[in-house]
Structure 1
Amino acid sequence: MKVNSDVEFVTLNRNEPFYQDALDLRFTLFFEPVNLPRNVIFDDVEARSNHLALTREGTLVAYLRLTETSENHYQLSQMVVTPKDQGKGFGLQLVTEAIQYLRARSATDVTLSARLNAIRLYRSVGFVVSGNVYLSKRTGVEHINMHLKLKQHQNKNATKGH
């Protein structure tokens, strides 16, 4: 699906080059600066997650990962934008597309752990802060939990006439 004239929103398979580019970008931006080994990327949810990206002219622009944590509840994580494309609205564009992707799959809510400098971006699409600032166990970088309600839970008793 075309998002705008030069960027395309895509879902990635783990055996394609864009996914490998996303792994490289995630490692370079999140883990290498704090001297963690590359295999830290392959946590217990990597294989079962949905991998979404924006691409342009055969190159990765932005990436994020969505993981279903329980039925219709998702976790957004590992969002990155290539350094040369940061500050151009691609992060917001990708998060907006991811929210639509989740709504199309009947997701009820999505949570994330935001770096403090990304709070404003997530708030702009409706996420609210939940909890206090904490240090990431893996990187030691300050984060805060955020939550977005996508759809009301249906009351099963209401449909049965109770």
Structure 2
Amino acid sequence: MQFREISWQSDEYQQACELRNTILRRPLGMNLLQEDLSGETEYLHFGMFESDRLVACVLAVPLGSGRAKLRQMAVSGECQGQGIGRRLIQSVEDCLVQQGFQVVELDARREAVGFYEKLGYVSQGDEFISVTIPHQRMTKVIAAD
């Protein structure tokens, strides 16, 4: 299993869009591939690969002031429950620290809150609805000032 950064509009980026659509959007009756993704050129894209096949991905959005927001974490169905998501998040955090980020935030789906808590994320505020389902804002300090 190999962690690497993904270039926007690359073949690997297209694989990531397909995976995000399959895992995150289609079950909600939505289609990521019909959305305007041009803003993603400013994001950092990361993935876990088995050979050349993407099995997990996540986006990191730089927010300024040493903060980044993780978005659209997806692990392929056949790879869930194997620790790949945990390894992906830990690798992304290491990469973000190297790039000068100190705090990571994310909006976790209700069923994923426990996963992020095990990785040291802390809930902030009240649950809210996003893309038609309950989410919880969570944060983690990944590096000291």
Matches of residues 45-56 of structure 1 in structure 2 within 5 Å?
46-56=40-50
Q: 1:123 to 1:43 in 2, by over 3 A?
A: farther
Q: Highest relative contact order (Cα 8 Å, sep 6+), 1 or 2?
A: 2
| Count of equivalent residues | 144
Unpaired segments ≥5 residues, structure 2: none
Tell me the equivalent position of 1:67.
61
AA paired with 1:96?
A: Q
- 1:86 matches 2:80: yes
* 1:69 shift after superposition: 0.9
Compare 60-69 and 11-20 and name the one that shifted more: 11-20
What are the residue-to-residue correspondences of 1:95-110 with 2, within 5 Å? 95-110=89-104
Write 1 or 2 for the structure with the bigger share of strand. Answer: 2
Which protein has the larger Cα radius of gyration, Structure 1 or Structure 2?
1
1:128 to 2:128 alignment: no
- Identity, % of aligned positions: 24
Q: Is 1:146 matched with 2:141?
A: no
AA at the equivalent of 2:58: L
Structure 2 residue 35 is matched with structure 1 residue 40? yes
Q: Say if 1:41 and 1:25 are closer, same or farther in 2 by CA, change over 3 A.
A: farther
| SS of match in other structure, 1:142 | strand
Whole-angstrom CA distance in 1 between matches of 2:105 and 2:90:
14
The answer to whether the Cα contact below 8 Å between 1:62 and 1:79 also exists between their aligned partners in 2 is: yes
Which runs of 5 or more residues in structure 1 are unaligned? 1-6, 154-162
**Could you tell me whether the CA contact under 8 Å between 2:23 and 2:75 is conserved in 1?**
no
Shift in alpha-carbon separation, 1:41–1:65, aligned structure 2, 3 A: farther
For the residue of structure 2 that corresponds to 1:130, the secondary structure is strand
2-structure distance, mates of 1:102, 1:50: 9
* CA RMSD after TM alignment: 1.5
